[in-house]
Chain A
Amino acid sequence: MHGSPLLEVSNLRVRFPTRHGRVEAVSDMSFTVAEGETVAIVGESGSGKSVTALSVMGLLNSGSIESGSIRFRGEDLTAAEPRRMRQIRGEEIAMVFQNPMAALDPLYTVGNQVAEAIRIHRDVSAAEARARAVELLREVGLPDPERRARSYPHELSGGQQQRVVIAIALSCNPALLIADEPTTALDVTVEAQILRLMRTLQADHGTALLFITHDMGVVAEMADRVVVMYAGKVVEQGTVEQVLREPQNPYTLALLRSIPSPDISRDTLMPAIRGSVPSLLDTPSGCRFHPRCPRVLDRCVREEPPLAALPGQRDSRCWLHLQPDGGLLPAESTDSTESTESTGSADRSARHGAGSIQSGATGVS
């Protein structure tokens, strides 16, 4: 931990109206980000990780925060006036999105856009803002920043565009930078550059980072602490070493194992997780992971497990932890049946699948 929490999200519950009824995208979500710390929220599609980020930014469009609080330096942002939120956004908390082309205005030069961000929050002349913009573009590693400041977004590569977005985000030296899949649209080589840039800037300015990602490689490289989400709920949290090296939750463990690693032989099958990510319109009963879990118990089908505090200041949501035998997961606990392809069982469990139907592939051998 790096001191008192800068951001403290408690029991957040976010709902969205849809044609098929109201959907709870985030349920009972709690986490903190300390000053200067990097926290990664990791999850697959529909896990609620991006909705969490947008909630902190006050940018939920149709969705609404049903309950819970988001405290930034003690101030509850869920109760903040729109005017106050506009002040906080950009000045205190800034955000970098996945698609830089969508974040930039195609009609203005990038220098203008950085300068505009500065002038919204700082009382400086246009000339000063422009000069500061060039400085920022230099700091984010844009080659030839004086000339590049006069470029339009489409004249830059994807990596350069993302550097400009980062320059805008950092223009007012925010205490917290939220990055939602900032490198997902980029090539690995450019991803490496952008992640390194973000680490350098963080070290220079002491900015706290809230990283939203599905990529465990990015988590390993960036995060101090990790929050794993599944179907709108936190299933595990702890330090990056705890979560990636000794995952306690069956979902985290299975997810990590299903990532192709350099060690896996081409002649063996991947340890896949059966079924698919559940739709929020039709979340499974009990533990939301139970239809896909290799270690499912009767209880998991009926009752949702609480987020249990485990030794070492970490949490995991699983009934196994609350078994009479104490039940921490052994390091290699997934059973061998998993390593078969087993599409049959995969699709039997797909009745909880994403907007999906029961395929009932019982006849498949």
Chain B
Amino acid sequence: MSAEPTVETGQETPILEVRDLVKHYPVRRGAFGRGAGVVRAVDGVSFRIPRGRTVGLVGESGSGKSTTARLANRLVEPTSGQVLFDGADLLATRGRELKALRSRMQMVFQDPYGSLNPRMTVFDIVGEPLEVHGVSRGRARTARVTELLETVGLSGRDLYRFPHQFSGGQAQRIGIARALATNPDVIFCDESVSALDVSVQAQILNLLKRLQRELGLSYLFIAHDLNVVRYMADELCVMYMGEIVERGDSDAVFADPRHPYTQLLLAAIPGHDPATAKAKDRAVARGEVPSPSAPPSGCRFHTRCPFAFERCTAEAPRLRTSPATGRAAACHLLDDTSEGGPS
């Protein structure tokens, strides 16, 4: 670990910071690509991941969560914007330097089997990052892989087994061991527990928590299950159609969502108590996410927003941060009083 987990001071350089990240994909209409447009998959996203903390990214499918994660670790090249990893400008780095930075950020994917090569043994899967980054070879590599497996609750006996010989939860442990191989500072968890059975999901969440505590890891945590995100994330970013519409301390946002979209999203979380689940009509958001190739004018949420007024259709609200609380939301209703909001 290059960075010891330290006490939050607010002044400390975050392990990862993205500024105004943009990714536009060209789309072609018609047989000869005439009338080309762009899909604004990610459109001006900024956030920081403090060391040893977890930032949760939530939003409906197509909101740009996964693309944001892939831009932040430069698996996808951004159209514009800035990524600062431990203070270094990731987008300006090349070659060996980039490789060195990349070894410090890893990903754990959704499908535990799909993300493991079925023809490779566990030793090869977990050992490959060590080879790529030239960390260790020979007997030292075997020892390191064994140590990694033990860290995630597997053992040296699993070294020469293949992914299909493991259950879904165990396969995800292998994916986590692989991510840990290069001693990363940040792990991007993109729906990493979503495909697991409920009874196994909790084990993996606990494993991620323990690793964070022991290794000082920072996570960017993406999940569609909002209760899972609430449990994992210290800070929350809510995305809608490629933009962050609300950002802030996770407990504060869950307790008191400011943006109308966040309010709808949180109200849609199913309750587990039959008495209240039936009585309470889960707030039903109007309509669905519009096509990303033709986003609504003004505030992109105005077509579904129960509070929309004229200004919302004409002018896009800016994400404003309240100096007092550090919370941010992009909504015209919140413009005058940074503390008030629709309720």
A239 to chain B: closest residue by CB? B274
Is A63 close to B, CB under 8 A? no
- Residues from chain A with a CB closer than 8 A to the CB of B207 are 341, 343
Is B296 close to A, CB under 8 A? no
Is A255 close to B, CB under 8 A? yes
Is A89 close to B, CB under 8 A? no
Is A105 close to B, CB under 8 A? no
Flag B160-204 by CB within 8 Å of A: 1 or 0 each.
Answer: 010011111110010000000000000000000000011111110
Q: Whole-angstrom distance between the alpha carbons of A272 and B209 in the complex?
A: 13
Is A45 close to B, CB under 8 A? yes
B285 touches A189 (CB 8 A): yes
Q: Whole-angstrom distance between the alpha carbons of A341 and B207 in the complex?
A: 7
B167 touches A217 (CB 8 A): no
Is A220 close to B, CB under 8 A? yes
Q: Whole-angstrom distance between the alpha carbons of A217 and B161 in the complex?
A: 37
Residue from the set A158, A215, A354 with the largest chain B CB neighbour count within 10 Å: A354
Q: Whole-angstrom distance between the alpha carbons of A260 and B250 in the complex?
A: 15
Q: Whole-angstrom distance between the alpha carbons of A158 and B288 in the complex?
A: 9
The 8 Å CB contact of A356, one of B157, B170, B231, is B170
The 8 Å CB contact of A270, one of B155, B205, B264, B285, is B205
A159 touches B282 (CB 8 A): no
B165 touches A356 (CB 8 A): yes
Q: Tell me the count of chain B residues lying within 8 A, CB to CB, of chain A.
A: 62
- Residues from chain A with a CB closer than 8 A to the CB of B281 are 196
The 8 Å CB contact of B272, one of A261, A264, A276, A347, is A261
The 8 Å CB contact of A276, one of B167, B250, B278, is B167
Q: Whole-angstrom distance between the alpha carbons of A145 and B318 in the complex?
A: 36
A357 touches B161 (CB 8 A): yes
Q: Whole-angstrom distance between the alpha carbons of A269 and B234 in the complex?
A: 15
Flag B52-69 by CB within 8 Å of A: 1 or 0 each.
Answer: 000000001100000000
Is B97 close to A, CB under 8 A? no
Given the contacts A192-B284, A359-B170, A220 and B154 also touching, CB distance less than 8 Å: no
Q: Whole-angstrom distance between the alpha carbons of A215 and B228 in the complex?
A: 13
The 8 Å CB contact of A259, one of B227, B275, B289, is B227
Is A160 close to B, CB under 8 A? yes
- Residues from chain A with a CB closer than 8 A to the CB of B205 are 260, 270, 272
Is B226 close to A, CB under 8 A? yes
Q: Whole-angstrom distance between the alpha carbons of A325 and B227 in the complex?
A: 38
Q: Whole-angstrom distance between the alpha carbons of A193 and B264 in the complex?
A: 12
B201 touches A262 (CB 8 A): no
Please report which residues of chain B, range 121-159, place their CB below 8 angstroms from some CB of chain A when the two chains form the complex.
150, 152-158
Is B91 close to A, CB under 8 A? no
Is B120 close to A, CB under 8 A? no
Flag A45-73 by CB within 8 Å of B: 1 or 0 each.
Answer: 10000000000000000000000000000
B155 touches A347 (CB 8 A): yes
Q: Whole-angstrom distance between the alpha carbons of A215 and B225 in the complex?
A: 11
Q: Whole-angstrom distance between the alpha carbons of A143 and B286 in the complex?
A: 11
B274 touches A245 (CB 8 A): yes
B273 touches A356 (CB 8 A): no
A241 touches B200 (CB 8 A): no
Please report which residues of chain B, range 313-328, place their CB below 8 angstroms from some CB of chain A when the two chains form the complex.
none
A258 touches B201 (CB 8 A): yes
Is A254 close to B, CB under 8 A? yes
Q: Whole-angstrom distance between the alpha carbons of A256 and B274 in the complex?
A: 13
Is B38 close to A, CB under 8 A? no
- Residues from chain A with a CB closer than 8 A to the CB of B275 are 241, 245
Given the contacts A266-B234, A363-B150, A355 and B285 also touching, CB distance less than 8 Å: no
A241 touches B170 (CB 8 A): no
Given the contacts A221-B277, A260-B227, A359-B158, A266 and B232 also touching, CB distance less than 8 Å: yes
The 8 Å CB contact of B203, one of A44, A45, A192, A346, is A346
- Residues from chain A with a CB closer than 8 A to the CB of B173 are 343
A347 touches B277 (CB 8 A): no
Is A277 close to B, CB under 8 A? yes
Looking at the assembled complex, report how far the CB atom of B161 sits from the nearest CB atom of chain A, in whole angstroms.
6
- Residues from chain B with a CB closer than 8 A to the CB of A160 are 288
Please report which residues of chain A, range 214-250, place their CB below 8 angstroms from some CB of chain B when the two chains form the complex.
214-221, 223, 240-241, 244-245
- Residues from chain B with a CB closer than 8 A to the CB of A269 are 206, 209-210
The 8 Å CB contact of A341, one of B210, B226, B278, B284, is B210
- Residues from chain A with a CB closer than 8 A to the CB of B39 are none
Please report which residues of chain A, range 329-365, place their CB below 8 angstroms from some CB of chain B when the two chains form the complex.
341, 343-344, 346-347, 350, 353-364
Q: Whole-angstrom distance between the alpha carbons of A254 and B170 in the complex?
A: 19
Task: For the A-B complex with A45-B168, A343-B173, A357-B165 known, give 19 more contacts whose Cβ atoms are closer than 8 Å.
Answer: A159-B288, A220-B271, A221-B271, A244-B272, A244-B274, A245-B273, A262-B230, A262-B254, A266-B250, A269-B210, A270-B205, A341-B203, A353-B166, A356-B165, A356-B170, A357-B166, A359-B154, A359-B155, A359-B157
6 inter-chain pairs at a CB distance below 8 angstroms, sorted by A residue, are A190-B60, A216-B272, A244-B274, A273-B203, A361-B150, A363-B155
Which 9 A-B pairs have CB atoms at the shortest separation, nearest pair first?
A: A343-B153, A217-B270, A272-B202, A220-B277, A270-B202, A276-B167, A354-B167, A258-B202, A44-B197
By a beta-carbon cutoff of 8 Å, the part of chain A in contact with chain B is 44-45, 143, 157-160, 187-193, 195-196, 214-221, 223, 240-241, 244-245, 254-256, 258-262, 264, 266, 269-274, 276-277, 292, 341, 343-344, 346-347, 350, 353-364
